[in-house]
Structures are given as structure tokens and as C-alpha cells.
Amino acid sequence: MAHSTPVPTSHADPVVQELVAALGENSVAADRDTLLAYECDGLALYKQRPRMVIWPNSTEQVSAAVRILHRFGVPIVPRGAGTGLSGGATPVENGALIQLSRMKRILDVNPTDRMARVEMGVINADLSAHVARFGLAYAPDPSSQTACTLGGNVAENAGGPHCYKYGATSLHVLSLKVVLSNGNITELGSPDADPIGYDLRTLFIGSEGTLGIATEAWVRLIPKPEIVETWLAPFASMDAACKAVSSIVASGIQPAAIEILDDRTIAAIEASVFAAGYPLDAAAVLLVEVDGAPIEVGRDGERIRGICQQFGALNIQFARDEDERKRLWKGRKGAFGAMGRVAPDLYVMDCVVPRSKLPAALDAIREICDRYKVRNANVFHAGDGNLHPNISYDGRDADETKRVLAAGEEIVKMCVALGGTLSGEHGIGIEKNIYMPLVFGAGELDAFANLRRAFDPDGLMNPGKVMPAALCGEIAGAMKR
């Protein structure tokens, strides 16, 4: 019994037949149960069964599959590990899902140039683990880094706690091998400096699978910091925690990460397998990490502690060794999952405000959630002003679900009104495409559509994502030809 053979279906679908002929029986599935398992990604609010799922082994196989799909006019949705939270990998009606989970080879590591060539199905954390022997690391570290793939990171321009210091994915990817919607393979950017022409690589990163399918990349590696110190400071009020953050940033210290977790998040974490010994009586805890040379880290750490104390932090915890650090981070990294214990479903939001507006935004979030009687908890990248309001609910309760969505909408609008924007790192996907007109006018949306057409004239790549529905219709129109 071959393990990977999905139960064969009749393959009445001619597209499936061709795909099977090109890629092999093992690389395509279109049976009821498999398609069902792919209905949604990390955003379980929206569901759509794909027409087929394809698992290519190589760039050439991706290209072969895309050529077939292009010929039949079948829309294409790329997928990594499906951990995204804005529905970027949610299938589209009658569309194919191309999952890169089998393309997980690290092809080359060059310590002199501090770069690595990787396939896009490589798991984020695996790359750092692999290059550790050279004293190097891959900087972006989204909370799902133990599961999410680099391809998904590219699609969403993923950040993570440490992107406060090191920047998000687009600063760490030098070039991309991309399969365009007609099956052509091309290279965007270059491992050599200063490529000629428009910076299509930067444009592609964060385009949520709407411009093509990245299959391979040269990524930048950074030297592992000499030492790392982590501080955990509990505060009696959220306001004090936010003020401490502002003060730390203003002082000129460049921490590797600055995170805040509120009391409700702490309660959820401490009740989960991720229990990290966070104080249950604090209104907020601030998690700050500094890395670099010992003398600077030591000095910055002391200054951070001083600032936290100035804003009333009690019982500051400190971790320097790896195990202690891991413990302090464990809660933060597992926060979203731990929230899953509060109720059957969890809506993890993502929006950004200028950092100085954080206290106002947090007050507004609590007010909105109380008004809609939904359970909210907050954990966020305070240094970046990147909020993650979480709402726990039971999706089987239609009324509660409606209230969750309404509260979500108000939160988004509030952030935009404060000078912020729709998403900091999760992307727009299908979760927020309807809100795009809040921040963009017709001219910008039109420019975006043009830009998409430049890559994908037939509108086959992840249609309906990022752009609001009206414009999707336009793309769909182009698709019919």
C-alpha cells in the first residue's frame, strides 16, 4: 500500500487527467475527503473546496502544472503550510491548489556570502536550525515559524517579533524563482547586488500569491548575535506598558523585539501547554529582547530595566541562558494557539497604528469588544505598533459570529482613523479585501489591478484575494476572455 496515494477518484475531470499524466498519480488529488481537508487555511472563517490539489516536487513540475491549468483557464491558489491568517491560501471556486510542501530542500548555503538557496516549502525554523552550524540565522520569525514555509512568508511579507530590529521578509530575500501564471519560469531580483530594472522582487514579496508562484529563493542570512538577553516586565496598567515602550524606543536603544501581552492573553497562556510563568496579576507584560555584543547588551538591558521600573514595573524577570529565554518566549509564541482553549474558535486580527497611538487604539478595541459582547485579548508587536486583537468565539453560534465580524470591522476602521492601516503582517487575503477602499482610492486600486495584470494578464493567480470584489469581477472578466 503506497502511503501517499490518495484514494483514487474517477478522474472524470479532464484537467485532473492531464495533471496526473504530467506529474503522476501521487502528485494530484481530487477526491472528496482530500478536497475537504483543504477547505481553509489558518483563517477558518471562510471555506471553499478546491477543484484539485497538486503537490509538485520541483519548479519544473510547478511550471508543467501551471501550463495545463492556464490552458484550461483554471484559477490557481498557491499554498505553503496553510498557517496564514487572512485566507490567502483559501481555495477559490473551481480553482486548483498548488501546495509546495514537498519542495523542502535547502539547496545551498554559502557562509562567505551569507546566503542560502532554498525551496519555498522549507519550514522557516528549519532554515535557521540548518545554518546554525555556520553561526548564521534567518531573521524573520513569525509566530508560526515552526510550521510556516518560506514561500508563505514571501507571499505575506511575514514579520515576527524580531523584525522590529531586522526587518520583515522583503529585507531578507535576495531573489526569487517564480512561475508566472502562463507557466513561464523567471528570476526576480538577484543574489548579486543592484540588479538592473524594476525591483520586481520587492513587489512580489507580500503580494499574497497574486503575481505568481515562488518556488525557490536566495535568502540573506545574518550572523547569530553573540549574546541575547530577554526581559519580562509586568505592569499594573496597559497604559504604563505602552509608555515604557515609547520611552525605550525614544532612548535610542534598538531592541531585537518589543512585545506586549495583556492580562487575558496571559491567563490563556498560563492555562495551556505553553505556560511560561507569566504573572497572572499583571494588566500587561512587556517582553523585551536585546542582542549583540555583551557590553552593549548588558548596558541596554540595564537601561530597559530602569525605564520599566520608572513606569512602575514590578518583579522584572530576566533570562540570559537559552532555556530560560525559550521559556519566556514560549508563552508569546504560543499565544494564539493557547487562545484556542478559551472557546472553540479564534479570530486573530492584525492591524497597525503609529506607535504613539497604541494606548488609544487599545482602549478603543476594549470598548468596541465590550459593546459587541465578544471576548477579546491582545498580544502585539509594540515596537512596530502592530496590534493583534484576538476574539474568541464559537463559530456554531451564528449570532456571536456576526458580532465578532462586526467588532472586527469597527476595529479595522478605528485603526485606519488613527493613521494606521489594515494589516501589519498577516496580509489582506479574503479577510480584509473589502476594507481596501478604506485606505485606497479608485486610482490606487486601479494601479494595483494594472500591476497584477502586468504579471498575470489572464487573472488566474489567486483571484479574489487582496482586491475588493468589484475589481475581482473585472479580473474574472479578463479571465473569460
Cα–Cα distance measured from residue 49 to residue 379, given in angstroms and rounded to the nearest whole number: 32
DSSP string, 182-209: TS-EEEEE-SSSS-SS--HHHHHTTSTT
Stretch that binds another protein, among 13-21, 66-74, 312-320, 381-389 (CB under 8 A): 381-389
CB closer to another protein out of 82 and 234:
82
Round to whole Å and give the CA distance between 369 and 446.
34
d(CA 427, CA 177): 21
Among 165, 430, 455, 462, binds another protein (CB under 8 A): 455
Does residue 309 touch another protein according to CB under 8 A? no
Site for another protein (CB under 8 A): how many residues?
137
**CA 72, CA 69: separation in Å to the nearest integer?**
5
Q: Is 165 in the site for another protein (CB under 8 A)?
A: no
Site for another protein in 410-439 (CB under 8 A): 419-428, 432, 436, 439
- Does position 31 interact with another protein (CB under 8 A)? The reply is yes
Give yes or no for a contact between 353 and 419, defined as CB atoms under 8 angstroms apart. yes
Cβ proximity to another protein: between 315 and 324 the closer is: 324
Selected from 18, 119, 141, 156, the binder of another protein by CB under 8 A is 156
> First CA to last CA across the chain, in angstroms?
44
Q: List, in order, residues 6 or more apart from 2 with CB less than 8 Å away.
A: 26
The footprint of another protein on residues 226-265 (CB under 8 A) is 226, 246, 249-254
* Residue of 295, 322, 323, 399 interacting with another protein (CB under 8 A): 295
| Nearest alpha-carbon partner for 391 in 350, 332, 331, 421 | 350
Using CB under 8 A as the criterion, what x/- string covers residues 136-155 for binding another protein?
--------x-xxx-------
Residues 189-218 that bind another protein (CB under 8 A): 190-200, 202-203, 205-207
> Which CB sits closer to another protein, 289 or 345?
345
Closer to another protein by CB, 196 or 370: give it.
Answer: 196
Among 138, 231, 235, 274, binds another protein (CB under 8 A): 274
- Of the candidates 221, 117, 124, 132, which has an alpha carbon nearest to the alpha carbon of residue 176? 117
Per CB under 8 A, the list member of 36, 132, 314, 470 interacting with another protein is 36
**3-state secondary structure (DSSP) of residue 117:** strand
CB of 317 to another protein, least distance (A): 21
Site for another protein in 41-100 (CB under 8 A): 41-42, 44, 53, 55, 81-83, 99
Q: Is 334 in the site for another protein (CB under 8 A)?
A: yes
Q: Hey, which residues does 30 pair with through a beta bridge?
A: none
Task: For the beta carbon of residue 125, count every other beta carbon within 10 angstroms.
Answer: 16
Q: What is the DSSP string of 206-249?
A: TSTTSS-EEEEEEEE-EEPPSEEEEEEEEESSHHHHHHHHHHHH
Q: Closer to another protein by CB, 82 or 463: give it.
A: 82
Contacts of another protein in 94-113 (CB under 8 A) = 99, 101-102, 104, 110, 112-113
